[in-house]
Amino acid sequence: MSDVVKDKWAALRQATPARIALGRTGAGLPTGANLEFQFAHARARDAVHSALDMDALEAELAPLETIRVASAAPDRANYLRRPDLGRKLAAGEADKLNARPLCDVAFVIADGLSSAAVQAHAASVVHAARAKLEGLSFGPVVVASQARVAIGDEIGAALGARLVVLLVGERPGLTVADSLGAYLTYGPKAGVKDSQRNCLSNIHGKGGMSYEQAAEKIAWLTRTALERGLTGTGLKEESGTLTQENAPHIGEA
């Protein structure tokens, strides 16, 4: 490795997760650092483009009833180009949700921009949150593919749910490719504004929010929202310390 100039400040790496002190060969990245980067990017790309394994997710959600629906985006390429299509159900899909008893809460799982996040964390968060919401009535868990956050509005309205808890795969970064977000919307119906939702972000296993923490916050927000009849900027999360300022831009609006 005689061609590689090592950087003397490698000890500073403890101060930041940034890719510092990588060393160099000429002006280039050493082979190892270059491959590490490619690996991280490949993992993030796979998280965006891999299809959600619906059977595996349903098995994990059992014994809860699940319904699969598709958004109006016919495939991943269209989903990425047309955020509007990912926000609404494909024609006829709402029929799967009609004529059911009204409920307090419906959980919706949307693949979003990281199927890896949904695969890894969504079922666990649903189970943990439901365990803290005894006494409320629930609709079936709706699993939506090629879906963005606002699809929960149409689903919640069709189910006659008072509140929707939508779990979604967040835009993957190089360090964390499987981060899950949760959006709570009271009175779901088409046309709800983003300012009328509450959001939890960074649910994942690499220093992010744990399932228990997420469940606690979801439960507090759900009960408070049902009691006060609103979600959004008028409802501040008070169940513990939650900083939303650092939340990544999810690009889901």
Partner 1 sequence: MCAYSCTLGGERFQFPNLADVMAKATPARSGDALAGLIAESDVQRVAAQMVLADLPLKVFLEELLIPYEEDEVARLIVDSHDAEAFAPVSHMTVGQFRDWLLSDAATPTVLKALAPGLMPEMAAAVSKLMRSRDLIAVARKITVVTAFRSTLGLEGRIGSRLQPNHPADDLKGIVASTLDGLSYAVGDAVIGINPATDNIPTAMTLLSMLDDLRARYDIPTQSCVLTHVTNSIEIINRGAPLDLVFQSVAGTQAANEGFGVTLSMLKEAHEAALSLGRGTVGTNVMYFETGQGSALSADAHHGIDQQTLEARAYAVCRAYDPLIVNTVVGFIGPEYLYDGKEIIRAGLEDVFCGKLLGLPMGCDVCYTNHAEADQNDMDVLMTLLANARAQFLIGVPGADDIMLNYQSLSFHDIAYLRNSLGLKAAPEFEAWLTSMGLVNEAGHLLPSGQATERLLEAAQ
Q: Give, as one character, the DSSP assignment of residue 208.
A: S
Closest CA to 184 of 200, 171, 172, 170: 200
Q: Is 70 in the site for partner 1 (CB under 8 A)?
A: no
Of the listed pieces 23-31, 151-159, 212-220, 223-231, which binds partner 1 according to CB under 8 A?
A: 23-31
Give the residues across from 110 on adjacent strands: 144, 168
CB of 17 to partner 1, least distance (A): 5
Q: Is 81 in the site for partner 1 (CB under 8 A)?
A: yes
Judge contact between 144 and 108, C-beta under 8 A: yes
Q: Is 84 in the site for partner 1 (CB under 8 A)?
A: yes
CA distance 253 to 231: 16
Q: Which of residues 183-242 bind partner 1 (CB under 8 A)?
A: none
Of the listed pieces 5-13, 99-107, 116-124, 187-195, which binds partner 1 according to CB under 8 A?
A: 5-13
Q: Report the Cα–Cα distance between both ends of the chain, in Å, rounded.
A: 48
Q: Is the dihedral of CA 233, 180, 110, 79 positive or negative?
A: positive
Judge contact between 71 and 87, C-beta under 8 A: yes
How many Cα neighbours within 13 Å face the side chain of 117?
A: 31
- Give the one residue of 3, 17, 59, 238 binding partner 1; rule: CB under 8 A: 17
- Give the one residue of 15, 62, 91, 99 binding partner 1; rule: CB under 8 A: 15
The nearer residue to partner 1, 7 or 65, going by C-beta atoms, is: 7
Q: Is 103 in the site for partner 1 (CB under 8 A)?
A: no
Using CB under 8 A as the criterion, which residues of the chain lie in contact with partner 1 when the complex forms?
5, 7-9, 12-13, 15-22, 24, 26-29, 33, 37-38, 40-41, 44-45, 47-48, 80-84, 113, 171-175, 177, 243, 245-246, 248-249, 251
